[in-house]
């Protein structure tokens, strides 16, 4: 749990703040943070992961507002679960009703979306 927080929150925040002064000085730059749809849709037994990814998304959105007038773009990518060989071997699909397929699926959720 502590390692996940250290990686997903502490390291991301420190690296972002290390890069931004140079971007501000040049009045251009981009930060691309990797979040997850798990930060939008809480999962059972995965609260720290989902919470840390919610932080990444909120942090990125806040920085975009703060730095937009300085020519700096902040993006957060929110990938979802993807059916890959790794996922099949890790039994990711056993928790869903989605059948295993030789072709990767885009993303899926068992929670209805309404935004």
The catalytic site residues sit at 49
Beta strands in the chain (DSSP E): 29-34, 72-77
Residue 73: CB atoms within 10 Å = 14
Q: What are phi and psi of 113, to 5 degrees?
A: -90, 135
Q: Which residue has the tokens 């071997």?
A: 89
């Amino acid at each position: 749990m502590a390692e996940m927080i250290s990686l997903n929150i502490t390291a991301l925040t420190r690296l972002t703040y290390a890069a931004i002064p140079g971007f501000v000085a040049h009045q251009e730059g981009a930060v691309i943070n990797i979040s997850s749809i798990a930060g939008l849709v809480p999962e059972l037994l995965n609260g720290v992961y989902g919470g840390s990814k919610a932080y990444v998304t909120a942090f990125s959105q806040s920085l975009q507002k703060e730095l937009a007038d300085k020519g700096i773009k902040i993006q957060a990518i929110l990938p979802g679960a993807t059916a890959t060989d790794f996922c099949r071997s890790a039994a990711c699909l056993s928790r869903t009703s989605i059948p295993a397929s030789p072709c990767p699926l885009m993303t899926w959720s068992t929670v209805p979306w309404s935004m």
